[in-house]
Chain A
Amino acid sequence: DSGVTQTPKHLITATGQRVTLRCSPRSGDLSVYWYQQSLDQGLQFLIQYYNGEERAKGNILERFSAQQFPDLHSELNLSSLELGDSALYFCASNERGGETQYFGPGTRLLVL
């Protein structure tokens, strides 16, 4: 158990809909990262937050947005969902940024 929690574990929705994925980092970790893993793909970095502020952005679509709240939990919002958005979404955290990240169990999103 990494100490990072993600909810929900599974999510099935329809095209055009909007969903919110939630992540609680390890106790004391200020940095939260979001990744997407599509079929046969590696982990694609989406976005990083550090202590409530956006720190780095990867290949995140404009339809996707995220935020980190004062209690340090983070939410990833995915809107106008398309079939290709079906993937595993992982959240990771660490204390200040840097190399070693601790991953949550992921949310499996299926868009029908």
Chain B
Amino acid sequence: DQQVKQNSPSLSVQEGRISILNCDYTNSMFDYFLWYKKYPAEGPTFLISISSIKDKNEDGRFTVFLNKSAKHLSLHIVPSQPGDSAVYFCAAFAGNTPLVFGKGTRLSVIA
């Protein structure tokens, strides 16, 4: 049973445009959500997070939106740059339980 789902395995975006990566979850106990970015041959690196008491968190070009009623979050990257090309993992957390990761979305930003 996949508690965190990233339904788009890949996404291709033009440089300078907006990239929107989506994530759905099923466990209503999740109270903290994170996005990780992974380049080939490297481990995932933390990108941005959001607590369930908020609906938006912004950090530079990256914004995460949380819609608790829909159990949906999204990561917006504006403007997209070629260096953003990577695999993005959505992860969710509930109390002291381990992080639950989605399968990832491969973003390709085309120059």
Per-residue CB contact flags for chain B residues 1-34 toward chain A (1 = under 8 Å, else 0) read 0001010010000000000000000000000101
| Chain B residues whose CB sits within 8 angstroms of the CB of A6 once the complex forms | 43
| Chain A residues whose CB sits within 8 angstroms of the CB of B108 once the complex forms | none
B98 & A45 in contact (Cβ 8 Å cutoff): yes
B98 & A33 in contact (Cβ 8 Å cutoff): yes
A-binding segment of B64-72, B76-84, B89-97: B89-97
B93 & A97 in contact (Cβ 8 Å cutoff): no
Q: Is B74 an interface residue (CB 8 A)?
A: no
Nearest chain A CB to B47's CB is how many angstroms away? 10
- Give the number of residues in B that approach A within 8 Å (Cβ atoms): 25
B98 & A90 in contact (Cβ 8 Å cutoff): no
Q: Which residue of A lies closest to B98 (CB)?
A: A45
Bound complex: CA of A103 vs CA of B37, how far in Å? 11
Q: Which residue of A lies closest to B102 (CB)?
A: A42
When A2-B43, A43-B44 are in contact, do A100 and B49 touch as well, CB less than 8 Å? yes
Q: Is B57 an interface residue (CB 8 A)?
A: no
Looking at the complex, which one of A35, A40, A90, A102 makes contact with B46 (CB distance below 8 Å)? A102
- 29 pairs, CB–CB < 8 Å, chain A vs chain B: A2-B43, A33-B99, A35-B101, A40-B9, A42-B4, A42-B6, A42-B89, A42-B102, A43-B44, A43-B99, A43-B101, A44-B101, A45-B99, A45-B100, A48-B98, A56-B98, A90-B43, A90-B44, A92-B43, A97-B96, A98-B93, A99-B32, A99-B34, A99-B93, A100-B34, A103-B43, A105-B42, A105-B43, A106-B42
